[in-house]
A and B are shown apart, each in its own frame.
Chain A
Amino acid sequence: MEKTKKPANPALIAAVKAVAVLVIICLVCVILLALCNDLLYVSDEEKLAHSMSKIYPDYGEGDKEFNETFKLDSSNATNSYGSVVDVKKAADGAYVLTAKGGGGYKGTVTVYLVVKEEGEGSSKDAKIKAWTIKESDGETLLANITNTHRSTWYVGKSITEYTSESFSVDNNKVSNTTMSSKAINNAVKAACEYCISVLELVTTPESEAIKAVSALAEGYTFTIVTDSDGYEAYTVGENKLSFYLEGTKADADTLEAYVYGTDENRQIVIVKSGLTHDELLAAEPVAKSENATAEVVDKVKSLSHFEYVIGKMHEGFQYTGTAELDAGLASDSKYGTVNKVYNGADGAVVIEATGNGGFESGTVTINVVIGTDGKVEGWYILSSEKQSFIDNITSAWDTVSSWYVGTEASEAEIALGDNKVNGTTYSSTAINHAMNMACHYYVKCIAAAA
């Protein structure tokens, strides 16, 4: 019997041919583009040279010795605004920083910033001479930022203006290019921070304090914690506290640094953060400056930062110890959990509670101060699981800190009401849940036991 050959399916053949043609065309195009990319590639040096020829002709050929030997340390090049990716020096001694700023449309914006030192000694300053955009992550409308903006934004100003709290990244914006404008501001702030903290182009009391403290605690990154009332409680005779800093290091305990006085008379005491009153009294400081007097050390040790912060909400708060938690009442699926209870000598308590319902189903942890009359006397945020828009709440702290103050802990359910910040509803809800959790625990465990 003869075998009959099956006829080929024309539809299948047509489909295979179509796919094959498409694939071949794609391959040819890819190869062509790969070849052209090699031919037409523009290096970072070429981009820099072109930009400098337009905005800062004094760059010339650059400082060859510095540019060839300088190695960027990535560990100190990143801060909360962005990162510095490269530093070059111009022929006239100006620094050209390449900095990336976050918060842009679809990613970051990278800028060149030219900074030049002026003055000497205590009047040393550094001014921004020029800037321009190098590139952006996503396709944007950066063409809206014109030469007019390049000549008016930042130019001629001291870099300290952009590292101060008063400069908002929402300044200097162009209509229809708001997000990219914000990213540019962030990049400039990141570059200016780098100029002060790493290149040390400007000497300020703050930068000198950070430098002196950092020298005593190797590997730590210190930032100054600002507080408007000046930490009067820490005054020792004529010596007032100049700065209070927090220091962090990967896989290590957080430190607190107390700086008295300035310049050569500076006295520094560094202790571990988060210690109880008793632990602090018993422990020796992690580090101190050679001239730190016994009175200053004793004052720091006897007044833990925790007591100081709580003392602003409940006067004279003295921490006596942590209470044992009632496991059954310390958790509520509706609100969250209670993590710790700190007892005060006069019966006031501080309850650390974590509230659910935050941004992306995350949590927010707060400390709640409840006075002897069973009313909320104050609270503050410890942490947020998902770094969301919680900065909107902390930046409005003057208003936000009065939320829930005076509320009876015995209230059946503390409503969210107006205790929310526009655009930060989830985090506000999590804070409300944590507050409810803390108050319900207080009523059921602490007040009931008393």
Chain B
Amino acid sequence: MKLQRFKEIALDGTVRQNPTFRLVLGTCPTLALTTAAISCLGMGAAVTFVLICSNIIISLLRNIIPDKVRIPCFIVIIATFVTLVRMFMEAFLPDLYDVLGLFLPLIVVNCIILGRAESFASHNPVLDSACDGLFMGLGFTCAITLMAIVREVLGSGKLFGITLWEGFSIAFFANQAGAFLTFALFIAIFNVCYNAVERKLKHRAAHKAVEAENKAAAEEA
């Protein structure tokens, strides 16, 4: 796999097609779990693992699975890995298992996983798909953890469970309305910054192209 391709997949997963702030996928766990940063890290790790494994298997079987049954096959494969994650967490990380509760099995119907399986893994080689799974998962993890840090600090005065300011809490950020507002603000800020950077890069690229043209013209002359 070429380095350029790797860079593209990495940038797509974490920034250009960030599943949370750009594609707005997987909003259910994003809104529900971002009251505590530590549980977001756990959820992010679980989603990343399922993304990588399911992308690898689906990519391996992409020429075997008929079009008619691709969605049921994808769901079976994704559900298997989610169940494995559940079993593992119940055995080795019971505290995290308790915290994630209902949202662990909901990973099966997380749009990020099915979306990437359908749009990327079923059309690309195994290594590319694995990398896509990794960086999409990282992008999701970073996004929800960032949101959780803000909500946890403002909502309960804690950070990763450690009390920063005793007795400080703005209940609004700990409840659903605060979740929506925080999410909306993050989407807005992320997209504003992304668009600004993209404009700058385009401008720079255009400037470089003009310079190169002028140089070529000067050399000809």
Q: A42-B90, A42-B91, A50-B94 are in contact. Are A139 and B105 (CB under 8 A)?
A: yes
| Across the A-B interface, the 6 shortest Cβ-Cβ residue pairs | A29-B80, A40-B87, A143-B101, A18-B66, A139-B102, A18-B69
Q: From A31-39, A198-206, A265-273, A288-296, give the one contacting chain B.
A: A31-39
- Residue numbers in B under 8 Å from A47 (CB-CB): 94
Residues B76 and A19 in contact, CB atoms below 8 Å apart:
no
Nearest B residue to A136, CB-CB: B101
Residues B72 and A22 in contact, CB atoms below 8 Å apart:
yes
A33 in complex: contacting residue of B61, B84, B98, B105, CB < 8 Å: B84
Nearest B residue to A17, CB-CB: B66
Q: A18-B68, A33-B84, A42-B91 are in contact. Are A141 and B73 (CB under 8 A)?
A: no
Interface residues of chain B: helix, strand, loop or mixed (majority): helix
Distance between Cα atoms of A199 and B213 in the complex (Å): 93
Is A15 part of the contact surface with B, judged by Cβ < 8 Å? yes
B80 in complex: contacting residue of A17, A21, A33, A133, CB < 8 Å: A33
Known: A21-B66, A139-B105. 18 other contacts (CB 8 A): A18-B66, A18-B68, A18-B69, A19-B69, A21-B73, A25-B76, A29-B76, A32-B80, A33-B83, A36-B84, A37-B87, A40-B88, A40-B91, A133-B98, A140-B102, A141-B102, A142-B98, A143-B101
Residues A26 and B87 in contact, CB atoms below 8 Å apart:
no
Nearest A residue to B79, CB-CB: A29
Distance of A53 from chain B, by nearest CB (Å) = 10
Is A14 part of the contact surface with B, judged by Cβ < 8 Å? yes
Distance of A245 from chain B, by nearest CB (Å) = 42
Distance between Cα atoms of A450 and B187 in the complex (Å): 85
B68 in complex: contacting residue of A15, A42, A139, A141, CB < 8 Å: A15
- Residue numbers in A under 8 Å from B73 (CB-CB): 21-22, 25
Distance between Cα atoms of A188 and B69 in the complex (Å): 48
- Which range contains the number of B residues in contact with the other chain? 20 to 34
Distance between Cα atoms of A41 and B69 in the complex (Å): 32
Distance between Cα atoms of A18 and B64 in the complex (Å): 9
Chain A 25-68 interface mask (CB, 8 Å, partner B; 1/0):
11001001100110011100001001000000000000000000
Chain A 100-139 interface mask (CB, 8 Å, partner B; 1/0):
0000000000000000000000000000000001000001
Chain B 70-102 interface mask (CB, 8 Å, partner A; 1/0):
001100110110011001101100100011111
Distance of B219 from chain A, by nearest CB (Å) = 60
Residues A143 and B99 in contact, CB atoms below 8 Å apart:
yes
Interface residues of A in 140-175 (CB under 8 A from B): 140-143
Distance of A17 from chain B, by nearest CB (Å) = 6
- Residue numbers in B under 8 Å from A33 (CB-CB): 80, 83-84
Distance of B24 from chain A, by nearest CB (Å) = 23
Please tell me the number of chain A residues within 8 Å of chain B, measured between CB atoms.
25
- Residue numbers in B under 8 Å from A14 (CB-CB): 66, 68
Distance between Cα atoms of A22 and B77 in the complex (Å): 10
Nearest B residue to A142, CB-CB: B101
Q: A18-B66, A22-B72, A29-B80 are in contact. Are A143 and B100 (CB under 8 A)?
A: yes
Interface residues of A in 407-445 (CB under 8 A from B): none
Distance of B62 from chain A, by nearest CB (Å) = 12
Is B65 part of the contact surface with A, judged by Cβ < 8 Å? yes
Distance between Cα atoms of A352 and B94 in the complex (Å): 56
Residues B102 and A22 in contact, CB atoms below 8 Å apart:
no
- Residue numbers in A under 8 Å from B64 (CB-CB): 21
A22 in complex: contacting residue of B69, B79, B84, B101, CB < 8 Å: B69
Residues B69 and A141 in contact, CB atoms below 8 Å apart:
no
- Residue numbers in B under 8 Å from A18 (CB-CB): 66, 68-69
Nearest B residue to A133, CB-CB: B98
Distance between Cα atoms of A134 and B179 in the complex (Å): 29
A sample of 5 cross-chain residue pairs with beta-carbon separation below 8 angstroms, ordered by A number, consists of: A15-B68, A22-B73, A36-B87, A41-B91, A143-B102
Interface residues of B in 114-140 (CB under 8 A from A): none
Residues B101 and A141 in contact, CB atoms below 8 Å apart:
yes
Residues B101 and A139 in contact, CB atoms below 8 Å apart:
yes
- Residue numbers in B under 8 Å from A37 (CB-CB): 87
Distance between Cα atoms of A91 and B77 in the complex (Å): 46
B65 in complex: contacting residue of A21, A29, A42, CB < 8 Å: A21
Distance of A273 from chain B, by nearest CB (Å) = 47
Residues A26 and B76 in contact, CB atoms below 8 Å apart:
yes
Residues A143 and B77 in contact, CB atoms below 8 Å apart:
no
Distance of A213 from chain B, by nearest CB (Å) = 43
Distance of A158 from chain B, by nearest CB (Å) = 28
- Residue numbers in A under 8 Å from B72 (CB-CB): 22
Distance between Cα atoms of A21 and B68 in the complex (Å): 11
Interface residues of A in 213-252 (CB under 8 A from B): none
- Residue numbers in B under 8 Å from A25 (CB-CB): 61, 65, 73, 76-77
- Residue numbers in A under 8 Å from B76 (CB-CB): 22, 25-26, 29
- Residue numbers in B under 8 Å from A40 (CB-CB): 87-88, 90-91
